[in-house]
Chain A
Amino acid sequence: MVPVPGRLASRVVPRSGVTRRRREIGWAYVLMAPALLMVLAVLAYPVAWEVWIGLTSFSSHTEGGPEFVGLLNYRTMLADTFFWRALLTTVVYFAVTTAAKLALGLAMALLLARPARGRTLVFLAVFLPWAYPGGVTVVAWYWMLNPPLITGYSVSAGNLKHAVDTFLGNGAYAFLSVMLFNVWRGGSFTAVFLLAGLNAIPTELFEYARLETVSAWQRFRQVTVPLLRPYLALAAFLSFTTAFADLANVWMLTGGRVVFPVIGTYAYWLGIRNGQLAEAAAWSLSLVPLLAIGLFFLFRWFDPPQEKPA
């Protein structure tokens, strides 16, 4: 985040100026082409399809092709109280897991940033939840919290589940276990990412801060967090996007036995189990505005306009 003279110099085009620049731009498009084509090939049609289907009455129960119904699906969805409840759960899920991941990740990153014996090994341990193939870790968490009947501690786990479910409502325990899993896995990614962010901050700044601030807490609040803000923003955004992938994984691995009343899984249920594809499309697209807002803030914090000396 320190402005560097090299960047200014790169704007100056030497010698045969204009033609060279034009050639460069031409090459730039050629080199970008594979990436853009790949993304387009994979995503353009599916996204268009999803948007279009959301505007029709398409379902696997009706004969013939999709029939245009305008915003009907969205209107029905918005009038449904269940939608608002699911939306609330989703927002809570996003907010709680992301906050937990950032807090845990930051704590672990700060721990690891300080030199200590055995730090490398601890670092590797912290890195593993994210790097370890999801298959084991999903099963591990599921098994730990929802053991099969045959194990010795099934009874106590069952009692815990019962207690949580009576206290918070049916399905709460399952939902909490997915949250825990997501935080465990995502927190690991966040920790490593923020550690890299901490390393990117020049140490002089911290030494200077040590002189200028009174307490460690003040230093943390007024120096570390503001300096880390762009990385925190990116970590939070990536946390959003993986939060749903994890839901899908758990859904998949539990054979659909664990049902959560959140937008993503309900859309899946509508579309795949019920065949109401149009409604499912509307439901899953309903999250786009939320994510777009997240993205807007991300770009503001992480990718500020060129001139701004961040």
Chain B
Amino acid sequence: MRGRLRRWRHGLLLGVAALYSLFPIYFITVQSLKTPEEDVFGHPLYVAAPTFENYTDLFEEGEARVRGYVIVPRVPFLIWLLNSALVLTGTVAVTLVVGVLAAYALGRLQPPGWRWWRRALFTTYVIPQTILFIPLYQVIIRLGLDDNHLALILIYSTMALPFCVWILSAYYRNLPREIEDSALVEGATPATAFLRIMLPMSRNVLVAAFLFTLGTVGNDFMLASIFLLDPDKQTVAAGLGVMDVSLEELLAVAGVNLAAIPVVVVCAALARGYVRGLTAAMVEGA
């Protein structure tokens, strides 16, 4: 009897957690499915006559459109989506490759003071970002990267790197050395031993690093809208960030929701691996 009650309570709490987590996303998605009339007279929590107008409009041609009584300029949304995908792919590639190299060096080769190198990387999180983008802009121009996706790729990677290096190096450090040594005895070079054995073993940690990078990229607006000004080069985040009307504009919500579909699919597929990877990085000798 008591066990039954407990199970119920547990289930109830799980339900509350799910509801709490999903509610804002549900809420705004409902708004984005409403017609202008329902927006005004309808109920805030559900939609009676859903319309996909906001979503389909994203892909239509033309200069502007009319929604209710408001004229809304059109945005090159498809291009924004492609740019976002490009920036994300680039950032993930750079972060993982550079991160794995550094993590192997710090976690396995352990040069003198490796602990301090790792900490030094992590210390970059202390730097206040507030007005940092002003000198950052100078750096980007000096590198000849203004209005270039590479600028964002470079900056996002630097933001995600310290955490990724931290968890990856923790994992490589804790991996029993015999695993690598047995491959070396078989005649493999350290590079092949790493690529064929250690890298596949760290799969889950790589997933964790990947999702962390994804979250970092997905949550920035400020940098995106500062460094990408050309509408044809902008990512979804940059485009929305400079759209002054974005808050009154459900088109924007529809847009990000569309962009979110692949993100959610990827997360659903990798979420388990994410937790396992973090755990593996934390447990010594995993």
Contact = CB atoms under 8 A, between A and B. Distances in A.
21 contacts: A6-B176, A25-B112, A35-B99, A38-B98, A39-B158, A41-B143, A49-B138, A50-B128, A114-B10, A121-B18, A124-B271, A127-B274, A128-B264, A129-B24, A135-B236, A151-B39, A252-B225, A271-B131, A280-B131, A284-B130, A295-B123
B44 to A, nearest CB: 5
Given A27-B109, A128-B22, A264-B128, A252 B11 contact: no
A139 B174 CA distance: 42
Given A124-B268, A133-B260, A151-B44, A7 B252 contact: no
Interface in A43-57: 43, 45-47, 49-50
Interface string A25-41: 10111111011101101
A43 B17 contact: no
A158 to B, nearest CB: 13
A165 interface: no
A281 B130 CA distance: 9
Interface string B12-33: 0111011011101101100100
Interface stretch (A62-70, A79-87, A188-196, A207-215): A188-196
A51 to B, nearest CB: 10
Secondary structure class of chain A's binding surface, majority of residues: helix
Interface of B: 7, 10-11, 13-15, 17-18, 20-22, 24-25, 27-28, 31, 39-44, 94, 98-99, 101-102, 104-106, 109-112, 114-115, 117-119, 121-132, 134-136, 138-139, 143, 154-155, 157-158, 161-163, 165, 173-178, 211, 214-215, 218-222, 225, 236-237, 240-241, 244, 246-248, 252-253, 255-257, 259-260, 263-264, 267-268, 271-272, 274-279, 282-285
A196 B247 contact: no
A17 interface: no
A28 B106 contact: yes
Nearest to A108: B17
A229 to B, nearest CB: 12
Interface stretch (A92-100, A141-149, A168-176, A218-226): A141-149
A125 B106 contact: no
A198 to B, nearest CB: 9
A50 B135 contact: yes
A114 B223 CA distance: 40
Given A25-B111, A136-B25, A150-B39, A249 B102 contact: no
B24 A32 contact: no
Nearest to B70: A150
Nearest to A292: B126
Nearest to A299: B119
Given A28-B114, A192-B274, A38 B161 contact: yes
B115 A303 contact: yes
Interface in A108-159: 108, 111-112, 114, 116-144, 147-148, 150-153
A134 B215 CA distance: 9
Contacts of B27: 140, 143-144
Contacts of A285: 128
A7 B283 CA distance: 13
Contacts of A131: 211, 214-215, 218, 263-264, 267
Contacts of A271: 130-131, 134
A284 B274 CA distance: 34
A32 to B, nearest CB: 5
A27 B222 CA distance: 37
B263 A277 contact: no
A268 interface: yes
A34 B157 CA distance: 12
